[in-house]
Amino acid sequence: MASTRNLLELKLPDFDPEVDGIIRQEMLRNEETLNLIASENYPPKSSMKALSSMLSGIYSEGYPGERYYRGLQHIDRLESLALERARRVFGAEHANVQALSGSNANIAAYLGLLQLGDRILSMEIDSGGHLSHGAKVNVVSKMFEVRQYGVDPATGLLDYDAIRAQALEFRPKLIVCGASAYPRTIDFERFARIAREVGALLLADISHIAGLVVAGLHPSPVPHCDVVTTTTHKTLRMTRGALILCRREHAAKIDRAVFPVLQGGPHQSNIAAIAVGLRHLETPEYRQYVRDVVTNARRLAEELLARGLRVVSGGTDNHLLLVDLEPQGIDGDAASIRLEEAHIVVNKNKVPGDKGTAKKPFGIRLGTPAVTTRGMGPAQMTRIAGWVAELLARPADDAVRDRVRDEVRALCREFPIYRPTF
């Protein structure tokens, strides 16, 4: 048995082959799978290196220059660098990089801007909103009085006049815009006008579209909103974490809400990885990547439509699309299981007007961030659409499933995620 000192030095495969083996299997699964989960991506090795550094063991309650523990001069430089990059990339007056996830970021923002019991108007989860926007099952709905808006079931689009009418009637203190499953451009400027009219604050959660905002492919909410939150690992293609951006006037309240109100010590290894990820966002290669994500999503939507599938709102402006499977007579749960058998991974999702349940909805959500990271382009999107349409048209045909699975695996081998030295 190794001495206590030597335990520190052992590499993962030597010390814990079980966990190491699971990680390797998961990497292999990804290499052999078309990942169309709209919220997932493959982070750069440089970010992952920072994430796995010894910073994982550091405590740093507080903010740069005002910590509760000593020995944090380098950590202060690191967090300041991340903050400076976040402000620059998004053109924001203030940033906070300590929230551990998108949900924490949203809850911290609510706690910073509101009193418990205040009114929030936000998008319902069935129309594409997020749990932390105040879904019934989420703690936010217990902390605040939440009313929700949806999309027009006929068009799948946000109806700004209807939202305005709801806001005038409900008089919320905060309006939340932004979504987890909305394929079209969000008019943040219009939301800001509604918020101004009813005297509400405005928060945009851009977790899904943040990469498009950075690349100038979606209008930025930053000039229009009091607070903007985002996760870092979706179209931003960083490791997991979150950013809160806000106007200077809200800075002190937001920072205090993150620490000490909601969280204790931040995860400085995450912050290091976020700093590295933010540097990626400023490269021309990343901007080109986001353009490719959008081009791919459009091609995927067009090709699915051409094969007779019902794509919600008739297409997409961003990185994701929703398919309503009601005409196929197959629910999203069964569809996602069948697709996975052929190594195509999607998530089941409610679609506008869906008569199903969260566990058995009638839609699926597809996104292109991960396959685009592999280097796939429009020609591959056409092939993927063909496979998806074929599997959904003949869900009981095992021969189709087996052939598609072999073709998918062959395509994946042509587009490896990471070079094998990893």
State the DSSP code for 66: E
Residue closest to ligand DSN (Cβ)? 39
What are residue 94's DSSP bridge partners? Answer: 246
CA distance readout (Å), 267 to 25, 62, 274, 321: 27, 12, 11, 33
- Least distance in angstroms from the C-beta of 180 to ligand DSN: 4
Coil, strand or helix: which one is 374? coil
231 has catalytic annotation: yes
Verify whether residue 61 is a known catalytic residue.
yes
Q: Are strands 145-149 and 201-205 parallel, antiparallel or unpaired?
A: unpaired
- Closest to ligand DSN by CB, 221 or 395: 221
> According to CB under 6 A, which one of 41, 180, 230, 313 is a site residue for ligand DSN?
180
Catalytic residue among 42, 59, 160, 418: 59
From residue 1 to residue 40, the character string flagging contacts with ligand DSN as x (rule: CB under 6 A) and all else as - is --------------------------------------x-
Contact at 8 Å (CB) between 254 and 245?
no
Question: How many chain residues are in contact with ligand DSN, going by CB under 6 A?
Answer: 4
Residues in contact with 235: Cβ distance below 8 Å, sequence separation at least 6, in sequence order = 41, 208, 209, 210, 211, 212, 290, 293, 319, 369
For residues 130 and 237, which CB has a smaller minimum distance to ligand DSN in the complex? 130
The least CB distance from residue 119 to ligand DSN, in Å, is 23
Q: Is 347 helix (H, G, I), strand (E, B) or coil?
A: strand
Q: Is there a contact between 303 and 386 (Cβ–Cβ < 8 Å)?
A: yes
Site for ligand DSN in 276-305 (CB under 6 A): none
Pairing of strands 310-311, 201-205: unpaired
| Contact characters 74-103, ligand DSN, x per CB under 6 A | ----------------------------x-
CB of 308 to ligand DSN, least distance (A): 27
Distances 81 to 58, 234, 276, 332 between C-alpha atoms, Å: 17, 22, 10, 43
Q: Residue 242 or 411: which CB sits closer to ligand DSN?
A: 242
Residue 316 touching ligand DSN (CB under 6 A): no
Which amino acid is it at 337?
I
CB of 357 to ligand DSN, least distance (A): 18
Element (H, E) at 147: strand 145-149
Residue 240 is among the residues annotated as catalytic for this protein: yes
Asked if residue 260 has a cis previous peptide bond (ω within 30° of 0), the answer is: yes
Alpha carbon separation from 271 to 55, 72, 98, 301 (Å, rounded): 9, 14, 7, 36
CB 297 within 8 A of CB 318: yes
* Residue number with CB closer to ligand DSN (39 or 104): 39
Which candidate, 88, 112, 304, 109, places its Cα nearest to that of 204? 109
Catalytic one of 79, 124, 205, 333: 205
Q: Is the CB of 208 or the CB of 343 nearer to ligand DSN?
A: 208
| Shortest CB 102 distance to ligand DSN, Å | 6
Site string for ligand DSN, 128-167 (x = CB under 6 A): --x-------------------------------------
357 flagged as catalytic: no
Expressed in angstroms, the distance from the first to the final Cα of the chain is 29
Q: Find the catalytic residue in 85, 164, 184, 234.
A: 234
Q: Which is nearer to ligand DSN, 103 or 166 (CB)?
A: 103
185: how many CB neighbours lie within 10 A of its CB? 16
Q: Which is nearer to ligand DSN, 39 or 230 (CB)?
A: 39
Q: From residue 379, give the alpha-carbon distance in Å to each of 18, 234, 278.
A: 39, 23, 30
Q: Residues for the chain: how many in total?
A: 422
Minimum CB separation of residue 221 from ligand DSN in Å reads: 17
- With contact defined as beta carbons under 8 Å apart, do 208 and 215 qualify? no
Contacts of ligand DSN in 33-52 (CB under 6 A)? 39
Number of helices and strands in the chain (H, E): 17, 15
Nearer to ligand DSN, 180 or 268 (CB): 180
- From the list 229, 231, 235, 239, the catalytic residue is 231
Closest CB 184 distance from ligand DSN, rounded Å: 16
Catalytically annotated residues: 59, 61, 205, 231, 234, 240
| Residue numbers at the binding site for ligand DSN (CB under 6 A) | 39, 102, 130, 180
